[in-house]
Amino acid sequence: MGLSEHTASETVFMYDARGPRAAPALELVQWHDPQLITRRDLDADAPSYRVIGYRIDSLASLTGSGHVKSVVVRGRSRKSIRVIDPDGVTVEVVEIAAAETDPESAMLSHERLVVSDLERSLAWYSKIGFVVRPDDDKVARSVPGVSLYLPEDPTFSFELESPPKQVAIEPKVANTQGLYRIAIAVEDVTAAHAALVEDDPATPEPGFVSMPDVPTGGFTVLFLFDPDGLVVELVDRPRKAVHRPLNPV
């Protein structure tokens, strides 16, 4: 992750009402060594993980929290409100009916990222299992983009956007403030590595990350860089260890 061997940090996982290992989660990390690198304002068109998204049955109770605007999520235009969290991360709440549990509870729904070349990124993400969710015929996007999802868990989408303006940035390290990476569970990370090596022999080897404070003792992970240098982590997490409620909404 761009760090030296020795690190010291505190980590908390936050889940929505669906609970652990049953839905996407946020991993919050407070860095002690190395210290946090304060986030600098990024150009809105620079490739990066840009927005974390939630869905809620109705925005009626949030209308005083911000300006309601339309955004495209999962191939459809949705009403949304955007707010900024204490670390400068944009949080997008979209109105999607038929939430899986309490309709008043916000569910982790999507992550929005900016890419420099949409077709190149689509080709790369398809190699690790993402597929395109077709746009509705009436959807009008403000910038070129596409919704991706994993067939085994359509409750979460990856919203790629490619603004016409091209802005290059240097990849940041893990202790930089803000959104840093996405982690995806795979049935067998060694098999996933072998499949990726067939296409790209330069694919790095998986490695075991010791985590003595968890029941498993750690995980075998494979860190990848997408075409824009954004970090995607594949985690060896067999299907039997997780439960994914299949809800295509």
**Block means of pLDDT (10 residues each) for the chain, length 249 residues?**
81 88 90 87 80 91 79 93 92 80 74 94 94 87 92 89 80 88 92 92 89 78 93 87 57
Where in the chain are the domains?
8-241
> Which CATH number fits the domain 8-241, given the four candidates 3.40.50.620, 3.40.50.300, 3.10.180.10, 3.40.640.10?
3.10.180.10
Q: Looking at residue 101, what is its pLDDT? A: 47
Q: Looking at residue 103, what is its pLDDT? A: 53
Q: Looking at residue 78, what is its pLDDT? A: 92
Residue 179's nearest CA partner among 69, 75, 42 is 42
Burial of 39 (0-12, 13-18, 19+ CB in 10 A): middle
**Cis, bond preceding 34 (omega within 30 deg of 0):** yes
- DSSP for residue 170: P
Q: Looking at residue 137, what is its pLDDT? A: 76
Q: Looking at residue 138, what is its pLDDT? A: 79
